[in-house]
């Protein structure tokens, strides 16, 4: 079971995403590496403050009885934890970032080059999860052509700052001059 500290951190991120204009009703997921397990948000998050039932504890490498309600992004989270030393992973879909990710091959936000993974351009047999996990070892943010942004850092606050930078840069890019 997740600790009270982890629950508070997850709820703080949920509220900050909402304040940043990132719709929390659109699927998003947050996970933390904690004591040899992954604590990840449930697949269908309610429009209310998070509770313990909204957090799922599961293993890094295999399916267990606890994954049924976990976010459908769990395979992506596992791939990232398997190839990095990061402690937190956030997957969300900021509205303006989604727009740009659908038409660009790369974005620039927060001083980072954000590559956009296009599932249609991957070599046969290469999964989106494997490609993102490889790219994220060299930068904190990777986008997927479907509009998902993936952030992997050492703490949830850094994840949120990265997503806010992506959304702010995307708004600037899309604003007519």
pLDDT, one tens digit per residue, over 129-140 is 899 888 887 777
Q: Is the pLDDT of residue 63 over 70?
A: no
Domain ranges of the chain: 4-174
pLDDT, one tens digit per residue, over 4-35 is 888 888 888 878 877 777 766 667 788 888 87
- What's the pLDDT score for residue 122? 92
Structure tokens at 157: 């606050």
Q: What is the model's pTM?
A: 0.83
CATH architecture of 4-174: 3-Layer(aba) Sandwich (3.40)
**What number is the average pLDDT over the span 97-124?**
81
**What number is the average pLDDT over the span 92-115?**
77
- What's the pLDDT score for residue 62? 66
Q: Which residues contact 4 (CB under 8 A, 6 or more apart)?
A: none
Q: Is the pLDDT of residue 98 over 70?
A: yes
- State phi, psi for 82 to the nearest 5 degrees: -70, -20
pLDDT, one tens digit per residue, over 33-48 is 887 888 888 877 777 7
For helices 156-174 and 4-19, give the axis angle rounded to 10 degrees.
10
For helices 74-83 and 128-135, give the axis angle rounded to 10 degrees.
40
- What's the pLDDT score for residue 153? 83
- What's the pLDDT score for residue 149? 82
What's the CA gap between 102 and 13, in Å, rounded? Answer: 25
Structure tokens at 13: 């991120």
Identify the CA nearest to 71 among candidates 10, 126, 22. 10
Percentage of the chain lying above the pLDDT 70 cut? 90
**CB distance 140 to 90 below 8 Å:** no
């Amino acid at each position: 079971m997740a600790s009270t500290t982890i629950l508070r951190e997850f709820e703080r991120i949920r509220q900050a995403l909402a304040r940043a204009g990132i719709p929390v009703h659109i699927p998003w997921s947050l996970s933390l590496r904690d004591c040899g397990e992954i604590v990840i948000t449930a697949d269908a998050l309610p429009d209310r403050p998070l509770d313990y039932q909204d957090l799922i504890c599961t293993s890094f490498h295999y399916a267990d009885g606890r994954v049924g309600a976990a976010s459908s992004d769990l395979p992506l989270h596992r791939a990232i934890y398997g190839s990095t030393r990061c402690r937190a992973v956030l997957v969300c879909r900021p509205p303006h970032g989604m727009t740009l990710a659908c038409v660009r091959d790369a974005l620039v936000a927060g001083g980072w080059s954000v590559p956009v993974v296009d599932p249609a351009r991957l070599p046969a047999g290469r999964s989106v999860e494997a490609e993102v996990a490889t790219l994220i070892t060299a930068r904190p943010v990777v986008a997927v052509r479907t509009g998902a942004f993936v952030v992997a850092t050492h703490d949830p606050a850094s994840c949120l700052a990265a997503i806010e930078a992506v959304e702010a840069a995307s708004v600037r890019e899309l604003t007519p001059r």
